[in-house]
Chains A and B, each alone.
Chain A
Amino acid sequence: MCQDCGCGDVNLVPLDVQQRILARNEDTAAHNRKHFLERGIFAINLMGSPGSGKTAVLEATAAAFEGGRKLAALAGDLATENDANRLTRAGIRSRAITTGEACHLDAELVHHELHHLDLAGVEYLFIENVGNLVCPAVYDLGQAKNVVALSVTEGEDKPLKYPTMFAKADLVLLTKVDLMPYLGISLDAILDSLARAMPVPNVIVLSTRGGLGVDDWLGWLERNRAMAFEEVMA
């Protein structure tokens, strides 16, 4: 009660906090990131809609590296371990993270699963996020880079409709481009949308059937991994 006049009103006391609500996730992500850097692991958060070709990209990546690089993956899905099984068959050391109801991975889920994945000698860790163009963009996992798989079948204006995801992307893999002749879709229109959503619109045009762009993707990985670890050494 108000102590001054006995009016019966409660005293309202403001408490200034100014704290990031996801600070705890960010702390765990920083812990994961430190762990990756110390072990020479270049971690990629691979995001995209369901069916955008994330798993196919990773299968093609493993095939193109031809065993020259040690790869590991965590595959997030609401249900089933199908993607992790596909990646294991492709030669990638993989674990599934089944999230149940959750529409995204968070740093704690990744941290927990890392304890069950043999990371000895691993050079690339691909964290295949839950298929979703909204929620995964919000949660830092400790990755070095964000990569978004966007298939040409999703339409030309997806980057404008889901700007948060693309604003955070370091690279977009434009997948299934072998289907373009059947879709009546314009590559220029997709690139235009991307340039309005991404400050640095890095795009690799890719098709896992026939292998278009896969070498560019491997080159991007190798360059960025080298740069990430040069920075640590400096």
Chain B
Amino acid sequence: MHEYSIVQSLVDSVAAAVGAREAAVRTPVVPTPVVHRVDVSIGELAGVDCALLATAFEVFRAGTICEHAALRIDRIAALWECPRCHAAIVRGGFLRCPSCNEPAHLAAGDEIVLQRIELEVS
């Protein structure tokens, strides 16, 4: 159950991104903007359970920059494909291209990414 440690890293990433934005704008927004929503992408083969991640976020966000933020999780399906002909491998099939005999390459589905943040600016 490493979803708490992922949430810890997520909250740190959000704080860093908001901090960088405030440093970049000429007239800093006062007070610190409230984080309204956090969008993440989680791949099917990223080893992260989305329901546990959502629960961990609920618990962990208290007292952090994400205290009032909603978490939106975009689940990315695993996509194995041939690195040569780019044909998709059938789900559950052998991870080798039936035409080219090349070992499949994971084209999508291992991401653990903070996509965007929505800030409430007054």
Segment of A36-44, A50-58, A117-125, A190-198 engaged in the interface with chain B: A190-198
Asked if B119 and A15 sit within 8 Å, CB to CB, the answer is yes
What's the Cα separation between A115 and B118 when bound, in Å? 41
The minimal Cβ–Cβ distance linking B29 to chain A, given in whole angstroms, is 9
Q: Which residue of A lies closest to B38 (CB)?
A: A17
Question: Which of A13, A15, A195, A197 is close to B96, meaning CB atoms less than 8 Å apart?
Answer: A195
In chain A, positions 151-187 with a C-beta closer than 8 Å to chain B are: 160, 163-165, 167
Min CB–CB distance A158 → chain B (angstroms): 15
Q: How far is the CA of A139 from the CA of B46 in the complex (A)?
A: 10
User: Which residues of A from 4 to 36 have beta carbons under 8 Å from B?
Assistant: 10-25
By beta carbon, the residue of chain A nearest B35 is A15
Complex alpha-carbon distance, A138 and B117, angstroms: 23
Q: Which of A11, A19, A135, A198 contacts B17 (CB 8 A)?
A: A19
Q: Are A13 and B118 in contact (CB under 8 A)?
A: yes
Interchain CB contact under 8 A, B36 and A21: no
User: Using an 8 Å CB-CB cutoff, how does the interface string of A82-124 with B read, 1 for contact, 0 for none?
Assistant: 0000000000000000000011101000000000000000000
Whether, in the assembled complex, A60 has its beta carbon less than 8 Å from a beta carbon of chain B, the answer is no
Q: Is A138 in contact with B2, judged by CB distance below 8 angstroms? A: yes
- Chain A-chain B contacts (Cβ-Cβ < 8 Å), number: 113
Asked if A1 lies at the interface with its beta carbon under 8 angstroms from chain B, I say: yes
- Does A200 interact with chain B (Cβ within 8 Å)? yes
Q: In the complex, are the beta carbons of A20 and B105 less than 8 A apart?
A: no
Q: Is B92 in the interface zone, CB < 8 Å from A? A: yes
Taking a contact as CB atoms under 8 Å apart, the answer to whether A15 and B92 are in contact is no
A22 vs B12: C-alpha distance in the bound complex, in angstroms? 10
- Which of B13, B112, B118 meets A138, CB within 8 Å? B112
Interface membership of A211, Cβ < 8 A: no
| Given A10-B122, A20-B113, also A102-B45 (CB < 8 A) | no
Majority DSSP secondary structure for residues of A touching B: mixed
Verify A12–B36 contact, CB threshold 8 A: yes
CB distance from A177 to the nearest CB of B (A): 23
With A15-B116, A17-B13, A17-B116 known as contacts, the answer to whether A198 contacts B121 (CB < 8 A) is no
Cα A106 to Cα B4 with chains together (Å): 14
Complex Cα spacing A137 to B80, Å? 18
| Chain B residue contacts of A197, Cβ below 8 A | 95
Q: Which residues of A119-144 have CB atoms within 8 Å of chain B's CB atoms?
A: 134-135, 137-139
Question: Are B47 and A199 within 8 A (Cβ)?
Answer: no
Distance A208 CA – B36 CA, assembled complex (angstroms) = 55
Give the interface centre of B34, B95, B103, B111 by most chain A CB atoms within 10 Å: B95
Q: Interface of A with B (CB < 8 Å)?
A: 1, 10-25, 102-104, 106, 134-135, 137-139, 160, 163-165, 167, 195-201
User: Which 10 pairs across A and B sit closest by C-beta, in order of nearness?
Assistant: A199-B103, A135-B2, A164-B47, A10-B120, A138-B47, A199-B95, A15-B117, A13-B119, A11-B121, A200-B103
Can you give 17 A-B contacts (C-beta < 8 A)? A14-B119, A15-B118, A16-B115, A17-B13, A17-B114, A19-B17, A20-B114, A21-B13, A21-B40, A22-B6, A102-B5, A138-B48, A164-B47, A167-B45, A195-B96, A199-B103, A199-B106
Task: Other than A163-B45, A164-B47, give 16 A-B pairs with Cβ distance below 8 A.
Answer: A10-B34, A11-B121, A13-B119, A14-B119, A15-B116, A15-B119, A17-B115, A17-B116, A18-B115, A21-B40, A102-B2, A104-B2, A137-B47, A195-B96, A199-B104, A200-B103
